[in-house]
Amino acid sequence: MINLGHLNWEELGMKDAREWVSNLVEGQVPVWYIPAGDLYRFRTAG
């Protein structure tokens, strides 16, 4: 398993990476793109 951590602004690149990895393994291994959403929660004072 390749687990690539990323922030939400990198998601488009991760979608492209899914296709690249799928081609790399010649479709013999299933590859999915699973959006992680925002990894951080921000709290404001008040």
Tens-digit pLDDT profile for residues 1-46 = 665 555 666 777 788 888 899 999 998 999 988 877 666 666 677 6
Tell me the whole-structure pTM to 2 decimals: 0.55
Please state, as a whole number, how many other Cβ atoms lie within 10 Å of the Cβ of residue 22.
16
